[in-house]
Chains A and B, each alone.
Chain A
Amino acid sequence: MLKTTTLEAMLAAYPELAVSEFRGGTRVVAQRGKLFETLQWFLCQRGFDLLVDITCVDYLNYRDAKDRFGLVYLLASTETNERITIRVYLNEPELSVPSVVSLWEGANWMEREVFDMFGIVFDGHPDLRRILMPDEFTAYPLRKDYPLQGRGERHNFPVLRRNQA
């Protein structure tokens, strides 16, 4: 799906990117320090104008995994219909990456969800708050060390009575 010209241009610009292929999709592993620059290059130089999704995988129990988190950026181009997956690996305690809201407005809620579910901080995000979980929630529920049944948070939610509201 990715054109060879794009791939060549990418490797010429960023030779350190590790490229792999799976089922016709091209994945690229970027360095944490160069993530924003790489994404900006794809948007401005190669016209990847659609940010399809931002998500995260917690590799806590994953076989042969060296890093704790893998942050995934799925980009697409509405002109050439190319797709690319850009991944970056993060480890505690450095769980922060630059926000891409300045590049794609649509990243706003996607980054908030990743923050809500995995606790990854996006520096420069305009409004980084929890989005799906309540504000009082302290854990990051999609991390692998968080149990399916929860840790009893639901029982401790403050009860708001009518006369207090």
Chain B
Amino acid sequence: MAPTAAPTFQTHDLAHDEPVDYIWTLNFGPQHPATHTTLRLVLKLDGERVVDAMPDIGYLHSGFEKIGEHLDYNQYVTVTDRMNYISPMANNIAWHGAVEKLLGMELPPRAKYIRTILAELARISDHLLCNGAVGLDTGAFTFFLYGFYQREVLYDIFETLCGARFTNSYTRVGGVSQDFTPLVIEKIRTFLKTFPKTLEDMERLLNRNRIFVDRTKGVGVLTKEEATNRSATGPIARASGVTRDLRKDEPYLAYADMDFKVCCMKSGDCFARYLVRMAEMRESLKIVAQALENLPSGPVNVGQDERTALPDKGLVYRSIEGAIAHFELTMTNRGFETPHEECYSAIEAPNGELGFYLAGDGTDVAYRARCRPPSYIHFAIFPHLIRGHTLSDVVAVLGSLNVIAAELDR
């Protein structure tokens, strides 16, 4: 099924050429079990070969960037949850990382470590789903269930931590909403112990599985030059040999203190993207273990003087300063001040570079909150990857790009 070399075909300029009767059109989506989310592809087929694919997106467009101009910096975190809902923690961290960069705020060390741990857990959760979905679409159902069971464990950790399983809204400007409790740390430690075994099982299921390898190897090849030229980032670029990883290249949070490797492959096909994600999960585990061992003590929020984080409830009820600080933050005509400036800040989200371009206008509501969504940029590569492959490869390539439609359309 998988062609060994990139197949060569007569290319058709469908817009201008005379219509040819053997080319037929297939509508894929917006509701299809293998698109996983709401996106639509119009495929031009020559027999079973895809001659061209035309993505049609916007079905889930809900104006997140417009809403960002009307909600304040702490409120908007709930919207970022709903962008890439596979790893909402990473979105929270990216959003407030950008806000703190705009404010020029330095986080307390404990908050940095907690965010690092959660960003890596979010990465594991995202890669489990992405690889699980690739497995599911290519016929490996057990693999998917193994992955989903471990995601459930991660959801339990998030639930213990902040009460929400799915839409965490965990970070705040200048810190996080809840500190780690001993129970959370214990649950993460248990996860660190049990997860490698599942990971081994998962690798044993698929890494040398003939059906899976045949369906993914050599399919959807993206070369290194193309990957950079088409703005690919994250695991997709790294599977093509681009060594860029913001955790190493522009260390943010506590990544400078961590010892981990950047996982890269050279072949740039769906199988390479699968392997990079599997390898990254192991590195994430290493980071979580290190951060948990070296978790500093201290506050998880910036001090009260910064006037961005809500003070502790004890302070609010028992001291006038606490009550005033709480009042100033929660009233609609108050809030904190931001500079009249614009800045861009990005993190290495599970899917690639997730950045926010913020324009501050003095108030605590962003003047412009642009999200640089990795899914959107990766989906633009899709027609290029699928041209010349068979219809059954559509799901493998789509799965390996990990396109989340809520982030795609925002």
Contact = CB atoms under 8 A, between A and B. Distances in A.
Interface stretch (B155-163, B188-196, B269-277, B361-369): B361-369
Interface in A52-75: 52-53, 55, 57-58, 62-64, 72, 74
B4 interface: no
B359 interface: yes
B376 A109 contact: yes
Interface stretch (A5-13, A31-39, A90-98, A100-108): A100-108
Contacts of A142: 65-66
Contacts of A134: 58
B370 A132 contact: no
B101 interface: yes
B58 A63 contact: no
B40 interface: no
Contacts of B242: 78
A61 to B, nearest CB: 8
A141 interface: yes
B361 A62 contact: yes
Contact of B372 (A27, A52, A58): A52
A57 B368 contact: yes
A101 B346 CA distance: 23
A106 B57 CA distance: 17
B230 interface: yes
B201 interface: no
Interface stretch (B137-145, B205-213, B337-345): B337-345
A138 interface: no
Interface in A1-35: 1, 22-23, 25, 27
A28 to B, nearest CB: 13
Contacts of A83: 344
Contact of B342 (A22, A63, A107): A22
B299 to A, nearest CB: 23
B409 A25 contact: no
A128 interface: no
Interface residues of B, number: 48
A23 B70 contact: no
B90 to A, nearest CB: 17
Contacts of B231: 50-52, 104-107, 110
A128 to B, nearest CB: 14
A81 B250 contact: yes
Contact of B343 (A22, A55, A130): A22
A132 B70 contact: no
A149 B232 CA distance: 34
Contact of B58 (A27, A74, A85, A132): A132
Contacts of A58: 368
A52 B353 contact: yes
17 contacts: A23-B102, A23-B104, A23-B343, A52-B231, A57-B342, A62-B359, A62-B367, A74-B357, A78-B242, A81-B250, A104-B229, A131-B57, A132-B57, A132-B58, A132-B409, A132-B410, A133-B58
Given A78-B242, A105-B226, A106-B381, 20 more contacts: A22-B343, A23-B104, A50-B228, A50-B233, A50-B244, A53-B344, A55-B370, A57-B342, A57-B367, A74-B372, A81-B244, A83-B344, A85-B344, A104-B229, A104-B230, A109-B377, A109-B379, A110-B231, A132-B410, A134-B58
Interface of B: 57-58, 61, 63, 65-67, 69-70, 101-102, 104, 226, 228-233, 242-244, 249-250, 340-344, 346, 353, 355, 357, 359, 361-362, 367-368, 370, 372, 376-377, 379-381, 384, 409-410
Interface of A: 1, 22-23, 25, 27, 49-53, 55, 57-58, 62-64, 72, 74, 78, 81, 83, 85, 104-110, 113, 117, 130-134, 141-142, 148
